[in-house]
Amino acid sequence: MDSSEIKKLIITSMDPDAAPGEIAGRLEDEGVSFDFRKGFSDRVIDKIFGVGLVVNRQVEFLRRFNSAFYRVALTGVAAIIILMISLFLMEGSISFNSFLGLGDSYDESIVCLLTGD
């Protein structure tokens, strides 16, 4: 088939009344074919099932990380509560100053402490 016939066939394929299946077949016979590289199917399967393993590992890591986070968080909350109770018992109140260990200090004494005078 020469180039003018091919061009005509291409244009005809756009006619609403044309038989596109037949035209596509004829073009394929003329070498108009598309395909992926050899081994495409294997590469897809490797990607899907390989990714699955990675995803499973990620899910497992997140699950363990969450459980570790909850343990650390609970211990932290318990430590904060114990610290506040001990502060209350020592200072008699839970103010910001007592929390920072500045219970009976005045501004002048802090300046002296910091400057060394």
Among 34, 54, 108, 117, binds another protein (CB under 8 A): 34
80 interacts with another protein by CB under 8 A: no
d(CA 87, CA 94): 7
| 3-state secondary structure at position 101 | coil
Q: Who contacts 1 (Cβ-Cβ below 8 Å, separation ≥6)?
A: 9, 30
40 interacts with another protein by CB under 8 A: yes
Q: How far is the CB of 54 from another protein (least distance, A)?
A: 13
d(CA 92, CA 104): 12
Q: How far is the CB of 83 from another protein (least distance, A)?
A: 49
Judged by CB under 8 A, the chain residues 43 through 62 that form the site for another protein are 43-45, 47-49, 51
Q: How far is the CB of 57 from another protein (least distance, A)?
A: 17
Which of 49/106 has CB closer to another protein?
A: 49
104: number of Cβ within 10 Å: 8
Query: Which residues lie near another protein (CB under 8 A)?
Result: 1-3, 6-7, 10-11, 13-16, 18, 20-25, 27, 30-37, 40-45, 47-49, 51
